[in-house]
Amino acid sequence: MTTRKRANDDKLPIRMLHDRVLVALDPEGGERKSSAGILIPATAQMGRRLAWAKVVAVGANVRTVEVDDRVLFDPEDRAEVEVRGDDYVLLRERDLHAVAAGRLEDGQTGLYL
């Protein structure tokens, strides 16, 4: 009977709370090219680097980010979570450094910049 209850729990809707943002990391493609065309191998050590991710869910108190926006954040300040077999990162809105979205107007600096 516990197996049946567990299967039903997996299908429950999930709502983000407060100022939380759930994001899916952009796939990292191993080798990269610099803007000058230099090939950087996947094994190269890099310093602290921010990461881009796509927003998949937002809490009720999130003001500047919407679902499907791309956001820039520090991957060292993250909490990973698995939801229905997919890996996501849970962040607070204040931990985001930038938002990239077509709906943003030129000249706006955003709330947290």
Torsions phi, psi for 8 (to 5 deg): -70, -35
- 2 pLDDT exceeds 50? no
Residue with tokens 């947290």, as numbered in its chain? 112
- The pLDDT score that the predictor gives to residue 5 is 45
Confidence grade of residue 101 (pLDDT, cut at 50, 70, 90): confident
- The pLDDT score that the predictor gives to residue 91 is 92
- Whether this prediction's pTM lies above 0.85 is answered by no
For the ranges 1-5, 36-40, 76-80, the lowest mean pLDDT is seen at: 1-5
13-67 pLDDT tens trace: 777 788 899 999 876 655 666 677 777 665 665 656 788 899 999 999 888 888 9
| Count of beta carbons in the 10 Å neighbourhood of residue 19 | 17
